[in-house]
Amino acid sequence: MAVTLKDVAERAGVSRSAVSRTFTAGASVSDKMRRKVEKAARDLGYSPNALASSLTTGRTKLIGLVSDNFHNPFFLEIFDLFTRALQDRGLRPLLLNLSGETNPKNAVRMMQQYSVDGVVVASSTLPPSFAQIFGQAGIPVVHAFGRRSSEPQVHVVDIDNIECGRMAARTLMARGYTHVAFLGGPESATSTQDRYTGFVSEMAKHPQITTSYSFASDYSFDAGHREMRRLLAAGPAQAYFGGDDVISIGALAAMQEHGLRVPEDIGIIGLNDMAMARWQNINLTTIHQPIRDIVSSSVDLMTSLLTDEDRHPESRIFSCHVVERGTLRPKHTAQAF
Amino acid sequence: MAVTLKDVAERAGVSRSAVSRTFTAGASVSDKMRRKVEKAARDLGYSPNALASSLTTGRTKLIGLVSDNFHNPFFLEIFDLFTRALQDRGLRPLLLNLSGETNPKNAVRMMQQYSVDGVVVASSTLPPSFAQIFGQAGIPVVHAFGRRSSEPQVHVVDIDNIECGRMAARTLMARGYTHVAFLGGPESATSTQDRYTGFVSEMAKHPQITTSYSFASDYSFDAGHREMRRLLAAGPAQAYFGGDDVISIGALAAMQEHGLRVPEDIGIIGLNDMAMARWQNINLTTIHQPIRDIVSSSVDLMTSLLTDEDRHPESRIFSCHVVERGTLRPKHTAQAF
DNA sequence: GCAAATTATGCAACCGGTTGCAAAAAAGGA
DNA sequence: TCCTTTTTTGCAACCGGTTGCATAATTTGC
């Protein structure tokens, strides 16, 4: 069925090594030889078996793409970018969906069995320890949307979540709100924790402003909706910092159902700036994450790791900015309250 | 670095074949031997190299998952289901994102280089010829969300798009609308064509009802929004059958911006029943696609193909049903018009 | 208890490539 | 032109497994 190197060698009347060499960049082959081999290969429709070659070269060009965020539309954008970035560099993404089980040992074994060259963990909810396990198993790993650390065990590419928390706090205050609140994602996620820390630290400077805190059970519409309903029943704040866009959209829906006008009666700012935030019927004011940069930087980092085995763990942190849309009242009306 | 079969063999003091055998199901090994080998393997942390074994067995357990729908949130649900279904059966999804280029030859070569056992094309927009090319290259292929054919070249799992078109038409008529319209997806997609065919065929039975047709440029919010704005300016119908949910949501946004109340002033029915259709601020009446069944059936079919090489091409068609939500006026108010 | 039948094990070849090494061919120098 | 240097080429071993076959060890039957 499949045509092999041997077939090409026979047809071209040369040795197998000669064929192998014409297909490996930088090998020593004369032009005459190369032409002969290429013709034979073309005639037979040969293309080298990447897996067989990996056996000797030790490189499969397979990259594990592992995530557990398969319910947040934001991550479709991320998967799109990752798969394309990897493909553009001649790497192939081997997808690992961790939604069901979360036994890291298992995940590592799967990746080992397929001798992936590296793993990119794309998740804001998997714990840092998860990425580390790959590293301990000797697999190069970069954790995109992971938490940076002063003692990094693993390469991390992320936004500055603490600064985002502060930025959200400052933004709400600049709008003149006097009772604001943090409506975070799951408390177990480092992204939630850091955004919380930043938000708290900024609000601490302004004791005259009432602040409250709560958390949605996960990064999803339903969790945001549910939590906001609870808050509305209990007596809501004037404006919220939502855990992420999808939580914020859930919260927004709850506000509207409750008969509140946004941004007149109540406001919210999200985080991510996913495509959907721009949709005219959502029009969410939010903090933009530069995912193109995060992804391309992650993949660049990964390619460096492939050549430069034990590089010192590095954190690449990108900054974010507020995107003004329609869910927070404008600055100049601040005095109206 | 990596511990190999040879290492285990040496530590256990047995031959390499013995080790190989204890790790291949159904091979002949005594209990004593198995225990000895398993201990050694455990001590060393050995796990067999799937790629090396594929060289002799001819099976990689790698399945190419190819799609070009990386901008429609509906497909995140599909990728989630596919990756899990494959994983559950011991298969690994090798993702191929065709959003950029669409050269089938290239796609085939990529899959061949990694000797995937099969390919599942998960796309409602790639042409049938695309899936066929894999088949011609000798790779088992199932096209999920592809078009069924009376002369199938390739295994297909899908819904009955023609019947869905009819169902939408019947649903709109049952609501008493007298001017209805089809707001399809991209005309080049077979899914659009079939839904159109069904819609037309049903409406043809009711010449007294005014019917019009148009198409969005792709399955996206923006395309739906843009097309609906155009229609609103030109004078809209009373109710629409949207190309899919995301197009419908775009159209819905345009309607609301135009100051129309849904479903009082204008109605729309989508297709897919993606998670978002249930969101309270969207609440889209739509036709439900049984994606869990489609996916698990696709994967089942694929696993059969792996053992039973040249099976006759088969089409598995699932039926859909209408999910009543808030974007179509209820049946009993039909007389009000 | 012994021969025959059955099951376990190891040897060696193979899967589809790559690569160090030595021999052959081509190029360069005088 | 002949010798030295450089480039090409093929041989053979190897990557990490699997598997047919022959032999060794067990089990079974009587």
DSSP per residue, B153-190: SSEEEEE-HHHHHHHHHHHHHHTT-SEEEEEES-TTSH
Question: What's the distance, Cα to Cα, between the start and end of chain B in Å?
Answer: 76
Q: With H, G, I as helix, E, B as strand and everything else as coil, classify residue A142.
A: strand
For range A299-320, the mean pLDDT: 92
* Contact, A150 CB vs strand D, < 7 Å: no
Would you put residue A270 in left (φ > 0), alpha (ψ -120 to 50) or beta? beta
* Interatomic CA–C1' length for residue A55 and nucleotide C26, angstroms: 34
For range A263-291, the mean pLDDT: 97
β-bridge partners, B315? B156
Q: With H, G, I as helix, E, B as strand and everything else as coil, classify residue B35.
A: helix
CA dihedral A78, A82, A88, A94 (to 10 degrees): -140
What pLDDT score does B335 carry?
45
Packing angle of the helix pair B190-203, B161-174 (nearest 10 deg): 40
pLDDT band at B313 (very low <50, low <70, confident <90, very high): very high
Q: Give the phi and the psi of residue A102 in degrees, each rounded to 5.
A: -135, 35
**Residue of B281, B258, B278, B280 whose CA lies nearest to B270:** B278
CATH class (in words) of the domain with range B5-48: mainly alpha
For range B111-129, the mean pLDDT: 95
Instruction: Report d(CA A37, CA A149) in Å as an integer.
Output: 52
pLDDT band at A334 (very low <50, low <70, confident <90, very high): very low
CA angle A222, A185, A244 (to 5 degrees): 80
- For A237-303, give the secondary structure using H, E and C: CCEEEECCHHHHHHHHHHHHHCCCCCCCCCEEEEEECCHHHHCCCCCCCEEECCHHHHHHHHHHHHH
Contact assessment for residue B144 and residue B121, using Cβ atoms and an 8 Å cutoff:
yes
What pLDDT score does A332 carry?
56
The letter for the amino acid at B9 is A
- List C-alpha distances in Å: B63 to A86, A98, B141, B168: 18, 18, 10, 35
- Judge whether residue A1 has pLDDT over 70: no
- Judge whether residue A258 has pLDDT over 60: yes
pLDDT tens digits, one per residue of B173-204: 999 999 999 999 999 999 999 999 999 999 99
- Judge whether residue A325 has pLDDT over 80: yes
Q: Which of A71, A113, A252 sits opposite B50 (nearest CB)?
A: A113
For range B127-133, the mean pLDDT: 92
What pLDDT score does B251 carry?
98
For range B280-285, the mean pLDDT: 96
The closest nt to B30, taking CA to C1', is C8
Instruction: Report d(CA A6, CA A97) in Å as an integer.
Output: 38
Per-chain mean pLDDT for chain B: 94
pLDDT band at B148 (very low <50, low <70, confident <90, very high): confident
Q: Which residues of B touch A84 (CB under 8 A)?
A: 97, 99-100
Within 7 Å of a protein beta carbon, the nucleotides of strand C are 7-12, 14-20
Q: Return the sign of the alpha-carbon dihedral for residues B294, B119, B122, A123.
A: positive
Return residue ranges of chain B for CATH 3.40.50.2300.
62-160+291-318, 161-289+322-336
Distance from CA of A197 to the nearest CA of B (A): 30
Instruction: Report d(CA A249, CA A185) in Å as an integer.
Output: 13
Tokens of A196: 């919380």
CATH class (in words) of the domain with range B62-160+291-318: alpha beta
Q: Is A269 on the interface with B (CB under 8 A)?
A: no
* Interatomic CA–C1' length for residue A4 and nucleotide C25, angstroms: 28
What pLDDT score does B149 carry?
80
- Judge whether residue B123 has pLDDT over 90: yes
* Interatomic CA–C1' length for residue A32 and nucleotide D1, angstroms: 27
Note which residues in 296-335 of chain B have CB less than 8 A from chain A: none
Burial-class residue B28 by CB neighbours within 10 Å (0-12, 13-18, 19+): exposed
CB-based contact A97 B76, cutoff 8 Å: no
What pLDDT score does B334 carry?
42
Note which residues in 219-258 of chain B have CB less than 8 A from chain A: 221, 225, 249-250, 252-254, 256-257
Which architecture does CATH list for A62-159+291-317? Answer: 3-Layer(aba) Sandwich (3.40)
**Which numeric CATH code is attached to A161-289+322-336?**
3.40.50.2300
Burial-class residue A160 by CB neighbours within 10 Å (0-12, 13-18, 19+): middle
What pLDDT score does B1 carry?
61
Q: Is A275 on the interface with B (CB under 8 A)?
A: yes
Return residue ranges of chain A for CATH 3.40.50.2300.
62-159+291-317, 161-289+322-336
What pLDDT score does A170 carry?
97
pLDDT tens digits, one per residue of B88-110: 999 999 999 998 766 888 899 99
For range A28-35, the mean pLDDT: 91
What pLDDT score does B311 carry?
87
Pairing between β-strand B118-122 and β-strand B62-67 as defined by DSSP bridges: parallel
The closest nt to B34, taking CA to C1', is C8
pLDDT band at A309 (very low <50, low <70, confident <90, very high): confident
- Judge whether residue A337 has pLDDT over 60: no
What pLDDT score does B336 carry?
42
Residues 155-174 of B with CB under 7 A from strand D: none
